[in-house]
Each structure stands twice: as structure tokens, then as C-alpha cells.
Amino acid sequence: MRYKVTLCYDGSAFCGWQIQSNAPSVQETLQNALSTLLGAAVEVVGAGRTDTGVNARGYVAHFDCDATFEPEQICYKLNAILPKEIAISDITQVPDDFHARFSATNRQYKYYIHNRKDPFRNAFSWYCRYRMDVDRMNEACTLLLGTHDCSCFEKTGSDNATSICTVTYARWEKTEEGCLVFTIEANRFLRNMVRAIVGTLVDIGRGVHEPAYISELLEKGTRSDAGQSVPGHALFLSDIRY
């Protein structure tokens, strides 16, 4: 039987979702906890990788298990033994053809920025001192929409089979507290893609480039032409749709 796990995690304690040989990961931590509770080796498959330090809300994973158990009880016990940085919100049985990664049709990320010094925001928001024109940044966002080769935003040395992504939503919004939140949705994301996009949009917002620079990057740009990779602690994988 196949089970879907919905969880959230604070990425600051992990090298990302995917298992690594030399650092703790969310996948390994969850996998070990499930194996302990179910009394058998369990392989957990996630909806996708997140970089070191990146956070997630509504992350989805799946695992197969022949043993009979009450999902609500296992959910309760998992939360009791998992570290404080990981919280399980739901475990449900799903059809055997459900796949946490390949059944997903759309993913959403959010990036948080504050531009006034605030020690209470530092854990999950980037303190960016630049003055930025949000209208220019949103003008540039419209050029991200559609299907493009996004290799200019992909971390150098990545091994993806393709760099083609379809972006369906991208926009900056100001919160009531005066902070900025960037939301982007696409069918798939490349490694480091969102952080490079944010860095590029920040450059546009502070006048380093015109909004049309996004089109130039997508047409013929390389990773070195795009903006800096902004810090991962302010990035959240916020939604996955199936």
C-alpha cells in the first residue's frame, strides 16, 4: 500500500531534502523515523529537492508499506520522535500509481525580504538594504511567464535532462508591515532557480538593469549574467498541486 505524507520543515538544520553522504537531510530523518515506527526499512520519495537551508510548507512525500497501521496514530508518533524542525500534518493512503514527484503538476515558492533591520525576521526573511522599485520588478515578472529555457538561472554543473520550465505566475507583493513577498509558480524548477531569479529581480528593482533584461537572459543569457543567488533561509516551497 502507498501512503502520502504532508509535512513542513525548517531547513536551517538540514542540507536540503535529499539524502547526502556527509550531512543530515530531511529525507533521511523522516525515513529513519518511519522505519523505526513501522519495524521495517521504508524508502521515502519526495516531491523534489530543496537546497540547503530552504524551508517547506505543504511538502509532499510518499512511501510504500505492507504493514497495517492507523495513519493518524503513526502521524502522532512521528511528530513525537522527529526533531522540532519537522512537523507531519497528515498521512493518507493513496492509489499505488500516485507519485509525490511525477504526479505533481505545479509547484509554488515564496521568497521573503525585509528592508528595515529587524532581529525577529532574520530567521526566515532576507534583510536587503537596497531601495527597490516594486513596479519595475513586477514588470520584469511578466516576462518570466510562459515556457522558456531557464538555464540562465540554473546552478552551474546541474545534471537536469532539460532546462525547459513553464512559469504560470510570478509577482511581488508588499505586506502590511512593509515587507516584500515574491511568489512564483511553475510546472518544475531547476536547482537554485528561484534564488537566482530573485537576485536578478532585486537588481532590476534597484536600477542595475531594465525590466526587459529578463527577456535577454532567457534568450541568450548564462548563469553568470543573471543576479546573485540570494540566501536560502528566506525561501519556502509553499505549495504543490496534483
Q: Which residues are part of the catalytic machinery? A: 51
Residue 44, amino acid: V
**Coil, helix or strand for 28?**
helix
Contact 54/11 with Cβ under 8 angstroms? yes
Instruction: With beta carbons less than 8 A apart as the criterion, state whether 24 and 15 touch.
Output: yes
Residue located via cell numbers 498541486: 241
Beta bridge partners, 185, equal 108, 169
Q: Taking a C-beta distance cutoff of 8 angstroms, is the pair 100, 61 a contact?
A: yes
Q: Which residues, in sequence order, are CB contacts of 115 under 8 Å at separation 6+? A: 127, 128, 129, 130, 131, 132, 178, 179, 180
Four-CA torsion 215, 219, 224, 226, nearest 10 degrees = 20
Cβ neighbours around 50 below 10 Å, total: 27
